[in-house]
Structure 1
């Protein structure tokens, strides 16, 4: 008996392994997936521009990164002593305009370099609703809590979105012919746009994602949106706001992504690493002073040293060795106390 409509995505033609170089760009779902990939010890540049919802802004930023173009002078703004730029998320800020410019130029350079070397780009489209800054006529990536009357909000025309995404894919292909692009549509609903408009927006993005995969053999689709809307069709898989998927949903969708995009060897490694992470999170009940505690940490060091042949475990090894030294020091102090 089945209690939900399970969706099993097809295997992606671009299979990831431990040596794959990955970039994630787009909405907050790109952040989530990127962090899961980082937690699995993959090489990831995770959403370097911050949360960017609309394809127009994503395309603009990637073009800047690959062409070496500096952020537009008209995009800088100051609010409450903090500087932002309309083309970037508010997580990129500074105390002065010059400091912010330096940070943004460095971010663009790093992203351009990463895209030229990457094996896979995970691109998550969030919304077809955009905000245009009236004074400049430019679509912004983030309004940075500036007064609403400065912007015009509207649903971008599908033909213009198609042009932006097609140009983006062509640009990426020229910069890195070996790059494979995995497109997803964010399952997070934009209720501020109203649910009817959100549905139109998501539908447009889904159509465009389908067209991109039909026209280009370097572009592939992963059904994150369908997994959330159809497979996990229950509010127990949402956070308290009833909009964002919760950790259980993220685990499920990432598991489906791993089945679809990871080589068998990488899936085996991720399973082993997950067991190691659980061991790293373990804290002894009795202060870590028993022989069993010392033996547990010694064995954990051995496991991490073996994994170090494949991935960087230096931070984890440093932590466990420090814990082991503290236990051994405490044990020696107890012995000294008993013998005096």
Structure 2
């Protein structure tokens, strides 16, 4: 007996490999997926602008980055002695405006270089509802806890949103013609916008994402939103706020992503790396300098050295070598290597 509607996304037309270089941009779901890709040892620049919910700001920031445009001077604000910028998430802050300007320029430059070298750009669209700063007339990425009277909140018109994202696709394709774009709609519901308006917002994003995949054969869509809404249709897959997917949901969606987006070699590596990760986390129950544990570490070190020809395992290799040396010191009882 089946108690839920399970579906498996179609394979993406372009598959990720072990050597793929990836940039993620967008909502908190982009950050979650980016961190999981990093955990699987892929080369990822993960959400360099911080959490960005609306596609208007995503398009603005990526266009600024690729054109080498500096952040708008009118976007800087100071609150309680800390400086922020309306086009960026509050995780990008500084103690002075000049310090923040340099930090933002570095983020834009790093992102531009990464996109020009990347194989995949993952864009997660969170909401079509935006906040416009009344004084400047500009849509902001984050209100930074400034008074609500400074902003106008509204649903961005679908035709304008389509134009913004269409121009963005042309810009990134011109900067890197071999770049593949993977679109997702965030499964996180924006309940503060009311449930009816959230539905309109998500529908708007989903329509435009579909159109972009029809118009551009290098743009594809992964149905994270549909997996959460239609497959994991139960509150046991949510955090206590009943809004954000929990770790179990993330595991499930990422597993579906692996099946849909990873090539054969990368899927095999994921299985291998899961075992190695468990071994890296293992600590002996009684003695960490026993002959058996030492042989365990030597075998693990050999596995890592083989893999290090393809991926960066410097931290893991250093950890195992340190543990082996510490075991030698304990064995001699002198604090010196034998």
TM-score, normalised via structure 2 length = 0.97
What is the distance in 1 between the residues matched to 2:324 and 2:19?
A: 31
2:74 aligns to what? 74
Is residue 94 of structure 2 the alignment partner of residue 91 of structure 1?
Answer: no
Q: CA deviation at 1:3?
A: 2.5
1:60 aligns to what? 60
Q: CA deviation at 1:299?
A: 1.3
| Residue deviations 1:14-54 (CA, integer Å, cap 9, x gap) | 11111111111100000011111111111111111110000
Aligned length: 336
SS where residue 202 of structure 1 aligns?
A: helix
SS where residue 30 of structure 1 aligns?
A: helix
What is the distance in 2 between the residues matched to 1:123 and 1:115?
A: 12
What is the distance in 2 between the residues matched to 1:329 and 1:6?
A: 54
Q: CA deviation at 1:335?
A: 12
Is residue 119 of structure 2 the alignment partner of residue 119 of structure 1?
Answer: yes
Cα distance, 1:89–1:12 mapped onto 2, change above 3 Å: same
What is the distance in 1 between the residues matched to 2:248 and 2:284?
A: 26
| Residue deviations 1:151-209 (CA, integer Å, cap 9, x gap) | 11111111111111111111111111111111000000111111111111101111111
1:25 aligns to what? 25
1:240 aligns to what? 240
Is residue 141 of structure 2 the alignment partner of residue 151 of structure 1?
Answer: no
Q: CA deviation at 1:287?
A: 4.1
Root-mean-square deviation (CA, aligned residues, Å) is 1.4
What is the distance in 1 between the residues matched to 2:127 and 2:225?
A: 12
What is the distance in 1 between the residues matched to 2:309 and 2:215?
A: 41
Q: CA deviation at 1:334?
A: 8.9
1:162 aligns to what? 162
SS where residue 333 of structure 2 aligns?
A: helix
What is the distance in 2 between the residues matched to 1:320 and 1:131?
A: 49
| Residue deviations 1:92-111 (CA, integer Å, cap 9, x gap) | 11111001000101110111
1:289 aligns to what? 289
2:315 aligns to what? 315
Q: CA deviation at 1:220?
A: 0.5
2:272 aligns to what? 272
- Structure 1 unaligned residues grouped into runs of 5+: none
1:211 aligns to what? 211
Cα distance, 1:128–1:329 mapped onto 2, change above 3 Å: same
SS where residue 45 of structure 1 aligns?
A: strand
TM-score, normalised via structure 1 length = 0.96
Q: CA deviation at 1:325?
A: 1.4
| Residue deviations 1:231-286 (CA, integer Å, cap 9, x gap) | 11111111111111111111111111111111100110111111111111112211
Q: CA deviation at 1:323?
A: 1.3
2:196 aligns to what? 196
SS where residue 188 of structure 2 aligns?
A: coil
Q: CA deviation at 1:289?
A: 3.2
What is the distance in 2 between the residues matched to 1:296 and 1:248?
A: 31
1:174 aligns to what? 174
Is residue 43 of structure 2 the alignment partner of residue 43 of structure 1?
Answer: yes
**Could you list the runs of 4 or more consecutive aligned residues of structure 1 that deviate by over 4 angstroms after TM superposition?**
none
1:102 aligns to what? 102
Q: CA deviation at 1:291?
A: 2.2
